Structure 1
Amino acid sequence: MSPLIDCLLIGLGATLIMDLWGLVRHPLLGMPLPSYYLVGRWLGHMPKGQFRHQAIAKASPVPGETLIGWLAHYLIGVSFAALLLLITGSKWLTSPSLTPALAVGLVTVLAPFLLMQPGMGAGIAASRLPNPGQARLHSLITHGVFGLGLYLSALGLRLFN
């Protein structure tokens, strides 16, 4: 396959693994199920010039916000897979290793900490939430699972190539 198709499949696979983790942690840890409609709402307000909100849940709904949010979630996952391949080169595809994938997965937590959470009203690294430490820990774990998903998805691709 081409590196572009590989990147797409690895990013989609890693994001799916992250979402499966979200389903598993719901009964195990009592965390809410993954839903990205508020991301869609946040993104949907951007063309109107609104990039920051006091509380995104209180912002007016945007048509198609659930679809926008889920599509953005998966496109971001593919972008992060591209980042991994940009850093490691296409040689990583022939011999995937866990360390770079996990490192990129953990570094991607900077996106919600520094962009999404402040823009949606939660503050930098969830500082305005009632329990920011717990929110940060869950974000780190989830992005670590994403990194593991990058690795597992690349291994899966190798099996089928």
Structure 2
Amino acid sequence: MDVWGLARKPLLGVPPPNYGLVGRWIGHMARGRFRHDSIAASAPVRGESVIGWAFHYLIGIAFAALLLGIWGNAWVQQPTIGPALTVGISTLVAPFLLMQPGMGAGIAASRTPNPTSARLQSLITHAVFGLGLYASGQAVNLFDVV
């Protein structure tokens, strides 16, 4: 997913995600503020970039655990793309209904300048995450890690 985030700029002219803004949003939660009109216009939070990147990976790990929780060790022993893509694309619920509204972008990026483009980028990114889950399952199986 991170490689895709970097590749979007040269391929599509879309900048990589700014996880510092996610960190800012999470940092404000510790102060009791969960919703912003514009997270970019909200006061910076000390360490927001580190907070954002840490939560990005923790959330990814939690979603990977969801895949294993639903499909179990049998999926790891014989990974298939369907469950991985199902989990990857299903994770769109989080940004569409929690993050984007909380950060001021509206439900499913409805308050952004180009909601359709933002939604498509989110869909592609989460599908790429699903492909990464599948590739990880293949790697674990190939190298007999489990």
- Does the alignment reach a TM-score above 0.5? yes
- What amino acid maps onto 2:6 in structure 1? L
Structure 1: 5+ residue runs without aligned partners? 1-17
Structure 2: 5+ residue runs without aligned partners? none
Q: Which aligned pairs between 1:84-99 and structure 2 lie closer than 5 A?
A: 84-99=67-82
Q: Which aligned pairs between 1:21-40 and structure 2 lie closer than 5 A?
A: 21-40=4-23
Identity %: 65
Write out per-residue CA displacement over residues 1-49 of structure 1, whole angstroms, 9 at most, x where no aligned residue.
Answer: xxxxxxxxxxxxxxxxx01011111101000023300000000000110
Equivalent position to 1:133, from 99, 112, 116:
116
The residue number in structure 2 matching 1:157 is 140
- What amino acid maps onto 2:106 in structure 1? G
Write out per-residue CA displacement over residues 36-85 of structure 1, whole angstroms, 9 at most, x where no aligned residue.
Answer: 00000000000110000000001100000000000000000000001111
SS, match of residue 30 in structure 2: helix
The residue number in structure 2 matching 1:9 is none
Distance 2:91 2:41 in 1: 27
**Quick one: higher RCO (CA 8 Å, sep 6+), 1 or 2?**
1
After alignment, is 117-126 or 86-95 more displaced? 86-95
For residue 99 of structure 1, report the CA deviation from its aligned partner. Answer: 0.3
The residue number in structure 2 matching 1:72 is 55
Instruction: Give the CA RMSD over aligned residues.
Output: 0.7
Distance 2:61 2:97 in 1: 19
The residue number in structure 2 matching 1:61 is 44
SS, match of residue 44 in structure 1: helix
Distance 1:149 1:60 in 2: 34
Normalised by the size of structure 1, how large is the TM-score? Answer: 0.88
Distance 2:37 2:5 in 1: 26
- What amino acid maps onto 2:28 in structure 1? H
SS, match of residue 111 in structure 2: coil
Alignment: residue pair count? 144
1:42 equivalenced with 2:25 (yes/no)? yes
